[in-house]
């Protein structure tokens, strides 16, 4: 093993939802380890581009709304044309819709399921085709959730999608392992991101959440960095189909 097991020099990572929050943090962690970054997001991401460039790595911006899951092979082809290859895929993009079960709309169900699960599958399929075709020993990292293990409250489509992503991680791992491609997932706990803004604005709910987290705080994007680097590493080739909670102890309580 090299002295730097997380060295990703010469590799290219595609990170979805890279504009802010967890996706931006993951993109920066991979860039600081030496990877060039293709950032995919529904809006431009100048801050991420600037920070990746500051780490001395190339950055390609792909502005794409994943509520449309079509044409992802073309997206992958564009990235490969511009950066040469894709070694690592991080399926981080996700949205959340909150409403009481009896009021939850079909539109909100479909939007969450498409972004969080359907598009993750078809983007993985497109990237895996590239990896297999080029003989790349690739790394696919899904961003799941503690709600891959629990039911949550007022988020039925998000919970269903994150449970689905956990199962999909295992199914993909089984089929891609013989190709030398690993598929693993990080399951963040309650993180300080846009998706939890409503919870953090509610003092009662915030207190309930923090009282259950043994570490006693909301998670930050940088808390996921080491997990992502481990799964992305060339040295983690015997780890696949794993879902790793990074939750401050939430699931242990």
Query: Which of 139, 134, 142 shows the shortest CA–CA distance to 85?
Result: 134
Report the distance separating Cα 182 and Cα 177, nearest Å: 6
DSSP string for residues in 150-186: S--SS-HHHHHHHHHHHHHHHHHHHHHGGGT-EEEEE
C-alpha torsion sign, points 17, 19, 22, 27: positive
Query: 6, 59, 158, 218: which one is catalytic?
Result: 158
Say if residues 14 and 85 touch (Cβ distance below 8 Å). no
Write the burial class of residue 55 (CB in 10 Å: 0-12 exposed, 13-18 middle, 19+ buried): middle
Q: Is 190 a catalytic residue?
A: no
CB 92 within 8 A of CB 17: yes
**Catalytic positions:** 158
């Amino acid at each position: 093993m090299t002295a730097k097991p997380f060295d990703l020099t010469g590799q290219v990572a595609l990170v979805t939802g890279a504009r802010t929050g967890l996706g931006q943090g993951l993109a920066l962690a991979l860039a600081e380890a030496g990877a060039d970054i293709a950032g995919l997001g529904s809006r431009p991401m100048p801050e991420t581009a600037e920070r990746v460039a500051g780490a001395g790595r190339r950055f390609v911006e792909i502005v794409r709304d994943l509520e449309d899951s079509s044409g992802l092979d073309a997206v992958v082809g564009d990235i490969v044309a511009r950066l040469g290859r894709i070694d690592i895929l991080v399926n981080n993009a996700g949205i959340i819709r909150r409403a009481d079960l009896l009021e939850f709309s079909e539109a909100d169900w479909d939007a969450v399921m498409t972004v969080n699960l359907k598009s993750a599958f078809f983007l993985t399929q497109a990237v895996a085709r590239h990896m297999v075709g080029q003989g790349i020993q690739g790394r696919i990292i899904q961003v799941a959730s503690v709600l891959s293990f629990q039911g949550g409250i007022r988020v039925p489509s998000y919970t269903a999608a994150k449970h689905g992503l956990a199962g999909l991680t295992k199914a993909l791992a089984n089929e891609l392992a013989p190709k030398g491609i690993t598929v693993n997932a990080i399951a963040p706990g309650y993180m300080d991101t846009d998706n939890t803004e409503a919870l953090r604005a509610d003092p009662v709910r915030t207190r309930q959440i923090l009282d259950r987290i043994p570490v006693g705080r909301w998670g930050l994007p940088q808390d996921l960095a080491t997990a992502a680097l481990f799964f992305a590493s060339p040295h983690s080739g015997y780890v696949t189909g794993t879902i790793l909670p990074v939750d401050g102890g939430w699931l242990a309580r």
